[in-house]
Amino acid sequence: MDKIKLKIDGREIQTEKGKTVLEAALENGIDIPVFCYHPCLKSIGACRICLVEIASPRGDQIVPWPKLAVSCATAATEGMEVQTHSEKVVKARQGVLEFILANHPLDCPTCDKGGECPLQDTTFKYGLDFSRFEERKRRFITDENSTFDDLQIGPEVIRNQNRCIHCYRCTRLVQERFFEQDLGHYQRGAFTEILPPPGGEIRNLYSGNVVEYCPVGALTNRDWRYKVRVWKTEEIPTICRYCSDGCNLHVSVFRNKIYRIQANTNWSIDEGLPCDIGRYGYQFAHHDDRLTRPMIRKDDELVECSWNEALTVIKNKIDQTVKSLGSSGVACLVGESLSNEDYYTIGRFFRSVIGTNSIDHRIYRKKKLSFGEDVVKRELCWNKLDIADLEKADQFFILGSDLHAENPITALRVLKAKRFSDARIMLLNPRPTHLNRAADEEHIYSAYSEVFLLQGLVRLIVEKKMYDPDKANIKDDEAKAFLKETADFDFKTVSEKTGIAPVDLETIARSLCEAENTIFISGENVRIHYQRDPILISLYNLAKLTGNLNGDASGILMLGGESNSKGCYLFGMRPDRLPYDKPFEQAEELKSSWGEIATDKPGYDTIDILQKINDEKIECGFLLGLDAADHYPDSEYINNTLSKLDFMVVADLFLTDTARLADVVLPISSHFESDGTFVNWEGVLQKFSKSIKNIGESMPLWEIFSKLSTMFDADFNFKTADDIFRHFAPMLGQESVSRMAAIPKDGLRSEKKIDYPDLGLMAVKYRKPSHEDLPLTALSGNGDHHFSRNFSTRCESLNNFLADPYIAINDKLAEDMTISEGDLIKLENSSGKIVAKALIWQNLPEDVVFVPDNFIEVKVSMIRSKDNDIDKVKMVKM
């Protein structure tokens, strides 16, 4: 980057060429007020508050500019001299403010923005104490009886147009960064209105951000409005508990109650633009359904009891089981959004106190993976790129991922790359996904034909020699061998199996070979795929072939998962690994603090645990922060299995379907009620802080297991989450971080980036899936504004976007079966049935139905069977 020098307010300043005067000033702590400028948006110079006086060199003279200039849209140039607070500037700024305030209602006492309002603050600092405007102020009347003139323009956004100062931050944000069109400006001049399009509402997944971007109280949130004054609340940093992106957030608390969540900008992750799920997804914390006391089964009913009673029963039952079956009779399954401190404590309890390694979190899988945990997959799962690296890519190949709904913030970076550097987006999915609004190409392939698609592309590239042999590092004989091995994946077959036209396949292959840097992204559809490994290996082949295996802006990402899925891996929530992903061979270090650990053989994974329960080899089961009865892709099997347990402990926030089966139910605290850390998909460890007192008698899991440890004479003595953090901090490999407080604001990023090893081209096999002989394939994923289960559906604001389950079907199919939108339909197979309203979805393939899997009432797991790779159903109109 070229550097230039200029003077601002007499100070010599160095900045990069291309920066604006405003940016140069702000970087150097020189304050210039702004309204329309925002670092995430392109400058438009609309509000004029950032006026400055500029002189620039011409020949050997410094010549003043004839007029004041807007610093946000004026490039800084060599030798410039800028005055930001000269008499002329101050006067002009006052004039601008006087104009803005001419129509502004100045209803600060009843305005929610009061106390955190840039207009209020700027007027306070720079404004006049009088106005020459005596005319009536403009008013957009929505209610004759109230001057609030509130207008609800979306499920959660309220507009008060009177206050709007026409900075267009809101509409630019929506259009520029979100690639959405649900907010625009209408009419002109002083009468410009901010509105959704005719008949629409602002309801995009990031809609809440417009409220934070509005520099006045023209846009407010429904959840927070008129409830509490901002200066009475305390702002506490937290991390989102939903997806694996790990947005940094601020909780606003007043008298031990959460009133709202706002962004807490982390430039390397969320850029201050969390999705609505994170923003409104706090409401479950105060939901009436929260469990407040432990419960114990007496006479076949769950009744409340004391902690002491509950823990004593647990202790006795564990002892009993260990006596009769050995420690392998105890097993534990955990959810993916608990804290690392929880995982560490749970791991230590089961491995060192009980002596069992049967711990797992991978409840979403039906079957064991076809391959072992060999190196490719381990590395593939490791995601060596960071979110910010996505900006540098010039192409995205997104396969089997509803990225928009699974990793909304990662999706925003993809969009950013498109907006600012014209990156290409290729979407390949078995159903349409909302990222298609910005895709250059969208291909809907036949469900479960991924292996054909990917290996077909690899073969096509090899066959037609589209690749650069040096970049790809592939020798001719290797290529030949590969072609021979993959003879079944010829062009024609692939096109037939995937339903993608030959010319399209060729275009995809060409763009993959032409782009400089491609990032391959896959998600939930692949994570739960019966052929996950062949898919990942084929992606690896593609990346290798196109020279995208190891770059700064290229590579493979396996996304999806929940807020701490990565933490599950890192902190040993698997039968075969110890904390910090250490294999058993490296247990020595751990033994020094944990005492004896059984490391002779790995424990059972989810699938084996369930089997062993059925074989009566496991009698005592713990389900922690996991609604297994709902998550496991086979309702009948999991219910039958769990009911065979002799003793079952469930720890959760709510009385979930799993908890109803339990012998002891323990109320756990949410992440708002404890300090702790999560690791996002990049591998960044971030801390959240306790923001409210524990609800009822609930406790975080780490505390429960620390208490339990004392009953086994193994006192962990963990009094705070930080006590635990201090224990595992040395494993994080960063000496300076030994306490939670030392975690940097942007999170702890591990420097370690492992390159993918070069393993050559690997041919994979397609395995025909097992399924029932029924016409429709059932796919599922997140519904709009929901994520996972039990939590988002207990947030009123999120339910305002989508409250009811549905079954999406193709329009032709609907017509054939005379189904109209809203009609009740039933999906049925030998596993079970579900009934919901029909939603007609035009581009959905005819042989596919989509069911959001966030709603407990319509459990997708009811039509799933662990014995089938694919869940097929038939549909009946009710």
Which residues are near another protein by CB under 8 A? Answer: 181-188, 196-200
Between 239 and 461, CB nearer to ligand SF4: 239
Query: CB neighbours of 548 closer than 8 A, spacing ≥ 6?
Result: 517, 518, 519, 520, 542, 554, 555
Measured CA to CA, the distance from residue 447 to residue 872 in angstroms comes to: 11
Minimum CB distance to ligand FES, residue 193 (Å): 20
> Which residue, among 647, 625, 793, has the nearest Cα to 699 in the 3D structure?
625
Please choose, from the candidates 472, 467, 451, 463, the residue with its C-alpha nearest in 3D space to the C-alpha of residue 399.
451
Work out what residue 46 binds among ligand SF4, ligand FES, another protein, none; the CB cut-off runs from 5 to 8 Å by kind: ligand FES
φ/ψ region of 267 (left if φ > 0, alpha if ψ in -120 to 50, else beta) reads alpha
Q: Per the structure block, which two tokens stand in for 691?
A: 């923001």
Contact 442, 402 (CB under 8 A): no
Cβ atoms within 10 A of the Cβ of 136, count? 7
Residue 760 has, within 13 A of its CA and on its CB side, a CA count of 11
CB of 52 to ligand FES, least distance (A): 10
Give strand ranges (E) for 299-411: 301-304, 330-334, 359-360, 395-399
Which of 37, 396, 530, 728 is the binder for ligand FES (CB under 6 A)?
37
User: Within 10 A of 368 (CB to CB), how many other CB atoms are there?
Assistant: 12
Q: From ligand FES, ligand SF4, another protein, none, which one binds at residue 70 (CB under 5 to 8 Å depending on kind)?
A: ligand FES
Asked if 243 interacts with ligand SF4 (CB under 6 A), we say: yes
What does 196 bind: another protein, ligand SF4, ligand FES, none (CB cut-off 5 to 8 Å by kind)? another protein
CA dihedral 203, 209, 213, 218 (to 10 degrees): 40
Determine if 45 is a binding residue for ligand FES (CB under 6 A).
Answer: yes
Binds 424: which of ligand SF4, another protein, ligand FES, none (CB < 5-8 Å by kind) = none
Residue 240 binding target from ligand FES, ligand SF4, another protein, none, CB below 5 to 8 Å by type: ligand SF4
The answer to whether 50 contacts ligand FES (rule: CB under 6 A) is yes
Q: Counting contacts by CB under 6 A, is residue 30 touching ligand FES?
A: no
Among residues 418 and 631, whose Cβ is nearest to another protein? 418
- Name the binder of 45 from another protein, ligand FES, ligand SF4, none, CB < 5-8 A by kind: ligand FES
Choose from another protein, ligand SF4, ligand FES, none: what does 740 bind? Cβ within 5-8 Å by kind: none
Nearer to another protein, 178 or 678 (CB): 178
* # residues near ligand FES by CB under 6 A: 12
Residue 169, binding choice from another protein, ligand FES, ligand SF4, none, Cβ under 5 to 8 Å by partner class: ligand SF4
In the Cβ-directed half-sphere of 291, how many Cα atoms lie within 13 Å?
A: 30
Q: How far is the CB of 458 from ligand FES (least distance, A)?
A: 50
For the sheet containing 518-522, what is the strand order? 441-444, 424-429, 395-399, 518-522, 555-558
Instruction: List the one residue from 214, 472, 662, 776 that touches ligand SF4 (CB under 6 A).
Output: 214
Q: Are strands 833-840 and 848-852 parallel, antiparallel or unpaired?
A: unpaired
- To 10 degrees, what angle do helices 502-514 and 450-463 make? 70
Of the candidates 852, 848, 860, 836, which has an alpha carbon nearest to the alpha carbon of residue 785?
Answer: 852
> What residues contact 770, with CB distance under 8 A and at least 6 apart?
867, 868, 869, 870
Site map (CB under 6 A) of ligand SF4, residues 635-674, x = contact: ----------------------------------------
Of 456, 462, 467, which is closest to residue 546 (Cα–Cα)? 467
413 binds, among ligand FES, another protein, ligand SF4, none (CB under 5 to 8 A by kind): none
Dihedral of alpha carbons 475, 478, 484, 485, sign: negative
Q: Which does 402 bind (CB under 5 to 8 A by kind): ligand FES, another protein, ligand SF4, none?
A: none
- Residue 57 pairs in a beta bridge with 62
Rule CB under 6 A: say whether 36 interacts with ligand FES: yes
Site for ligand SF4 in 137-196 (CB under 6 A): 164-170, 194
Using only C-alpha atoms, what is the Rg of the chain? 29
Minimum CB–partner distance for residue 182 and another protein (Å): 7
Rounded CA separation 558/247 (Å): 18
* Look-up of token digits 């209020």: 120
Residue 526's alpha-carbon distances to 346, 353, 366, 538, in angstroms, are 29, 36, 13, 12
Distance CA 194, CA 140 (A): 11
By beta-carbon proximity to another protein, the closer residue of 196 and 329 is 196
* Helices and strands in the chain: count of H runs, count of E runs: 27, 36
Smallest separation (angstroms) from ligand SF4 to the CB of 805: 20
Choice between 120 and 658, CB closer to ligand SF4: 120
State which residue, 24 or 164, has the beta carbon closest to another protein.
164
The distance of closest approach from Cβ of residue 471 to ligand SF4 in the complex, given in angstroms and rounded to an integer, is 34
Among another protein, ligand SF4, ligand FES, none, what binds residue 519 when CB lies within 5 to 8 Å by partner kind?
none
Question: 24, 72, 398, 695: which one contacts ligand FES (CB under 6 A)?
Answer: 72
CB of 172 to ligand FES, least distance (A): 12
Residues 376 and 540 sit within 8 Å (Cβ to Cβ): yes
Q: How many CB atoms lie within 10 A of CB 715?
A: 11
CB atoms within 10 A of CB 88: 14
245 binds ligand SF4 (CB under 6 A): yes
Q: Of 4, 70, 277, 353, which one interacts with ligand SF4 (CB under 6 A)?
A: 277
**At 413, is the secondary structure helix, strand, or coil?**
helix
What are 829's two structure tokens? 């197979």
Nearer to another protein, 425 or 704 (CB): 425
Which residue number, 39 or 595, has a Cβ lying nearer to ligand SF4? 39
Residue 435 as a binder of ligand SF4 (CB under 6 A): the answer is: no
For residue 627, the partner it binds in ligand SF4, ligand FES, another protein, none, with Cβ less than 5 to 8 A by kind, is none
Best CA proximity match to 674, nearest among 712, 727, 724, 745: 724
Interaction partner, residue 181 (ligand SF4, ligand FES, another protein, none; CB < 5-8 Å by kind): another protein
Give 185 or 225: the residue with its C-beta nearer to another protein.
Answer: 185
**Which residue, 109 or 198, is less far from another protein as judged by CB?**
198
Q: Does 115 bind ligand FES (CB under 6 A)?
A: no
Distance CA 291, CA 284 (A): 11
CA distance 620 to 618: 6
Q: Which is nearer to ligand SF4, 408 or 547 (CB)?
A: 408
Could you tell which of ligand SF4, ligand FES, another protein, none binds residue 198, using a CB distance below 5 to 8 A set by kind? Answer: another protein
β-sheet bridge partners, residue 330: 620
Binding positions for ligand SF4, rule: CB under 6 A:
164-170, 194, 213-216, 218-219, 240, 242-243, 245-247, 270, 274-275, 277-278, 408-409, 787
Binding positions for ligand FES, rule: CB under 6 A:
34-37, 45-50, 70, 72
